[in-house]
């Protein structure tokens, strides 16, 4: 699993409701083409987050390849003029062009880098045309954190993503923010519900992670501001309930490199240890349920 995110140039708040809705739809469209499962997402005014499951192996029939191609290219475009029916004919007749097309398309499947590249390019083309604008839209390639396929690790990362609008002060409840996976799932979105079923089959346990389990945590969440929470976490090096900390910006989720159990993180970072041995770093600030990350973040961990 990967938590991937990208921000606009200079962090400019360029996306209104229309832009966020188009990007939301493109996330589902490009992920379906790529054969990548969206667990949840959040589209904000100047950035977006997606938690995805990338398949270990890619085995695709010609019929499925045509379906995915048609999903991404329902109509010919100046940069991709070939109709799905033409691709279907090449694959059916086993032409040399069809074999080359199949190889080319398969290289884009099951690859989070290709998914993000395709998504950002398509949205940039649409955005620039709609604004009579030109030039880059995104400030960087994208950030990514490898996440262990453990239900608690996935639930924690998903909750952090779905609480983006709460942290930004746009809503008090993530179910009221239409551009995130949780709100789409609560609204009956089939794909969004299927995605979040990875972390909780009926969303009841997930809601506890979002809102805090038990009245005590809920009462404390209401009585402490985010500014006060950051002060306790940063200056006093204290601990707060998980539901409170998730309402702060936490760099573990964006810069931690790898997130999961200490044994999982250790295994991943040792693969790229180089001359200097690397180790897992246990997450601080709350009871993270034993989670660790692959980098020892120090400055401005909570914001």
Average pLDDT, the chain: 91
> Domain 2-55+114-215 belongs to what topology?
Alpha-Beta Plaits (3.30.70)
Residues of the chain with CATH 3.30.70.1290: 2-55+114-215
pLDDT level of residue 267 (50, 70, 90 thresholds): very high
pLDDT tens, residue by residue, 145-187: 999 999 999 999 999 999 999 999 999 999 999 999 999 999 9
What's residue 275's pLDDT?
59
The long-range contacts involving 98-106, CB below 8 angstroms and separated by at least 24 positions, are 102/62, 102/65, 105/65, 105/68, 105/69, 106/58, 106/60, 106/65
Q: pLDDT band for 216, please (50, 70, 90 cuts).
A: very low
Q: Residues 245, 285: contact at Cβ < 8 Å?
A: yes
Reported as a single tens digit per residue, the pLDDT across 102-155 is 999 999 999 999 999 999 999 999 999 999 999 999 998 899 999 999 999 999
Whether 138 and 9 have beta carbons less than 8 Å apart is answered as: yes
* pLDDT tens, position by position, 10-24: 999 999 999 999 999
Per-residue pLDDT at 83: 93
pLDDT of residue 274: 64
């Amino acid at each position: 699993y990967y938590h991937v995110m990208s921000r606009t140039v200079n962090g400019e708040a360029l996306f209104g409701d229309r832009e966020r809705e188009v990007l939301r739809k493109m996330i589902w469209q490009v992920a379906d083409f790529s054969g990548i499962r969206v667990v949840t997402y959040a589209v904000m005014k100047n950035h977006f987050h997606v938690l995805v499951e990338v398949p270990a192996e890619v085995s695709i029939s010609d019929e499925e390849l045509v379906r995915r191609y048609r999903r991404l290219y329902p109509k010919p475009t100046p940069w991709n003029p070939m109709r799905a029916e033409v691709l279907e004919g090449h694959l059916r007749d086993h032409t040399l062009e069809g074999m080359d097309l199949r190889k080319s398309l398969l290289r884009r499947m099951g690859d989070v880098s290709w998914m993000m590249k395709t998504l950002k390019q398509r949205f940039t083309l649409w955005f620039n045309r709609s604004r009579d604008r030109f030039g880059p839209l995104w400030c960087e390639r994208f950030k990514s954190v490898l996440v262990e396929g453990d239900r608690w690790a996935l639930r924690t990362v998903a909750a952090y993503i779905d609480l983006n609008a709460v942290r930004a002060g746009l809503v008090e409840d993530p179910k009221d923010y239409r551009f995130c996976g949780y709100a789409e799932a609560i609204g009956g979105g089939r794909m969004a519900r299927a995605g979040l079923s990875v972390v909780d089959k009926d969303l009841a346990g997930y809601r506890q992670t979002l809102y805090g389990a038990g009245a005590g945590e809920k009462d404390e969440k209401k009585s402490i501001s985010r500014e006060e929470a950051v002060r306790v976490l940063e200056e006093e090096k204290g601990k707060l309930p998980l539901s409170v900390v998730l309402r702060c910006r936490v760099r573990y989720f964006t810069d931690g490199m790898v997130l999961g159990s200490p044994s999982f993180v250790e295994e991943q970072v040792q693969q790229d240890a180089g001359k200097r041995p690397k180790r897992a770093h246990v997450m601080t600030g709350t009871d993270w349920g034993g989670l660790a990350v692959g980098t020892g973040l120090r400055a401005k961990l909570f914001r």
